[in-house]
Structure 1
Amino acid sequence: MTTEYQQSFESLINSFEGKLTDADQELIHIILGEPSEAVYLSSAELASKAAVHASTVVRLARKLGFDGFPEMRQKLRQDVEFKKNSSDKIRQRIDLIEKGSNLSDLIESEIAAIAAISNTVSQNQIDEVVNKIYKAKSIFIVGRGSAAPLMTHFERRLRRSGIQCRVALNLQRRDLAEQLIGIQKGDAIVVFGFQSINSLPSGYSSLIESAKSIGAHSIAIGDSTILTARPKPDIVLSVSRPKEGVMQLRSGPMLICEALAMTLLHKKSKKAVRGVESLEHLRANFLETDNNK
């Protein structure tokens, strides 16, 4: 399959830029409308349900980058299973809240998650990322959905230290490609991803491959999800939780971002101090301008 790595079928359709015939659209309508049923149908049965020729099903699968209908159906089954697991996790969280014990469970879960960070992330890795960020002329921070608060916080921490950053949140592939203009050799791309491969930015594979061809560094921050992402980034900072799926916050990844920012401040103090001094100078100018009005 040549499509984005483990991209959901629905996302694949949304990002597909080729032509879809009326028959294709009818098939897609049936698949997305009743995915739990569609995964058990043969190509002939699916074609009959959509009132199209059986060969149309195979052509659609290949058009979308699959080797054939069996591979497309397997992808649909993975999507259905993922949604089922997500629903089960949500049910677990609701049950905890209804029992009134969610606060203590949440505290215990986050303490365990933070304590487990040293099992997967070392100071050497933090130092390696900091060195690449420090040497880069520009940092490109990419993510989607629930990664937004972390991306914003990380960008602010770097900017206050005098690091030039750009944030690309929830961008489609075409827009993401446009944002890549200006990325140079030695720059750094930081990708955030959580809970599923589908949480990675649209166009993830092309993003990492483009970074490698340009000579830019790629860094991924997230949970165990990013360990399976392909192609692999240059550096992966993965925070695995002892109990995946239960009352998940972003305490672990937030701590990683803080560790990066603080290490940058301590090891590259001159540049960081210049950044803080520039910020204070700008703030003073803004206050003076406002007071003179």
Structure 2
Amino acid sequence: MKHFKSLVESYDGKLTVADRALISIVLSEPSEAIYLSSGELAAKANVHASTVVRLARKLGFEGYPDMRSSVRRDVDQNPSFSNISQQRRTSIEQGSNLANLIEAEMAAIAAVASSVSQIQIDDGAKFLANANSIYLVGRGGAAPLMAHLDRRLRRASFRVETLLNLQRRDMAERLISLKANDVVIVFGFQAPVSLPAGFEALMDHARVTGAKTISIGDTSILTARPRADLTLSISRPDQSAMQMRSGAMLVCEALAMTLANKDPERAVKGLESLERLRSDMQSSEAE
């Protein structure tokens, strides 16, 4: 039987704003959602109870109890989610401190293994290896991830364009040169509204031009439509309170490392060219 997360990711129909709100709650708080009635879940998302039933049937379940059972299987098979309620209560009681932060980030990193596979990383690296240009698109909290991946790709001599916090008009001007074999990597976290401005038009434009698309984010990225060619969704036990992007940073680094392993000659040449240019610049300054 398919897991709830897998069904959300593979669903090709239309997801409404209410659907996305419900899915975000279930995926970010699975160990709590399994104890909620349809009415209670609807109240948390501020939608009508009938919306919960319609969502369950959209995803192929017989009804809400069937959907809740699927979520329960996900929780039972993923230990990182089993104690989420207790983790949050303990965090509130003890307050924020270094030990709690370390524990939370260790759990987040451990959860990456159950969220993203090496096969997916390999697929993403294949897209990037054949890219003429790579566009990194995001807003807000995605900035550190984009800066890190931008640096790693440039050091391997890839042409990278970083589009951070751009409005629709500026985004269109930067993407007008998008072509087949280019790759667009979109970052999004915590809610569909966190996606870059003009996301739907961006994805449609990439499809028309033949460019490949990769989306990276937490479980809310699964509800983004149109879907990317490859979605790297990183779960974490405390997703609804997420402040850091440790898991996503790990995935970005895995992409860069796998890409270098697939074409070590290019990676070495890129580093050699970088060092040569740095040396030349230092020499010219000394003169």
TM-score over 0.5 (shorter chain)? yes
Unaligned runs of 5+ in 1: 7-38, 40-91
Offset from partner CA, 1:40-61 (integer Å, 9 cap, x none): xxxxxxxxxxxxxxxxxxxxxx
> Cα offset for 1:114?
0.9
Would you say the 8 A contact 1:109–1:247 is kept in 2? Answer: no
Which amino acid in structure 2 is aligned with residue 118 of structure 1?
A
Matched to 1:124, the amino acid is I
Distance in 2 between residues matched to 1:161 and 1:97, nearest whole Å = 44
Q: 2:137 aligns with which of 142, 147, 150?
A: 142
| Alignment-derived partner of residue 254 in structure 1 | 249
1:104 maps to: 99
Alignment partners' CA distance in 2, 1:290 and 1:103: 44
Alpha-carbon distance between aligned partners in 2 of 1:97 and 1:163, rounded to the nearest angstrom? 45
1:263 aligns with 2:258: yes
The separation in 1 between residues aligned to 2:203 and 2:269, in whole angstroms, is 31
Find 2:233's aligned residue among 214, 218, 238.
Answer: 238
Q: Which residue of 2 aligns with 1:200?
A: 195
CA offset digits 1:177-203 (Å, max 9, x no partner): 111122110110000111111111000
Q: What are the superposed Cα offsets for residues 13-38 of structure 1, whole Å, 9 maximum, x if unpaired?
A: xxxxxxxxxxxxxxxxxxxxxxxxxx
Deviation at 1:110, TM superposition (A): 1.0
Q: Which secondary structure state, in structure 1, belongs to the residue aligned with residue 185 of structure 2?
A: strand
**Which 4+ runs in 1 deviate beyond 3 A?**
95-101
Q: Does 1:151 align with 2:157?
A: no
Greater radius of gyration (CA): 1
Task: State how 1:1-293 maps to structure 2 within 5 Å.
Answer: 6=17, 96=91, 99-246=94-241, 248-292=243-287
Deviations 1:122-167 (A, max 9, x none): 1111011111101010001000011111101110000001111000
Letter in 2 for 1:267: K
CA shift in 2, pair 1:285/1:102, >3 Å: same
Distance between the aligned counterparts of 1:236 and 1:215, measured in 2? 17
Flag the 1:183–1:109 CA change in 2: closer, same or farther, 3 A. Answer: same
Displacement of 1:246 in angstroms is 3.2
TM-score, scaled relative to structure 2: 0.67
Cα distance in 2 for partners of 1:247, 1:138 equals 31
**Alignment RMSD (CA, Å):** 2.6
Aligned length: 207
Q: Is the 8 A contact 2:188 2:195 kept in 1?
A: yes
Contact 1:106–1:247 at 8 Å: present in 2 too?
A: no
Please, which runs of 5 or more residues in structure 2 have no aligned partner? Answer: 1-15, 18-45, 47-86
Q: Counterpart of 1:218 in 2: which secondary structure?
A: strand
Distance in 1 of aligned mates of 2:96 and 2:172: 46
For 1:149 and 1:100, the matched residues in 2 are separated by 26
For residues 101 and 171 of structure 1, what CA distance do their matches in structure 2 show?
33
Aligned equivalents of 1:231, 1:290: Cα separation in 2: 50
TM-score, reference length from structure 1:
0.66
Secondary structure of 1:210's counterpart equals helix
- Matches of 1:135 and 1:166 in 2, distance apart? 16
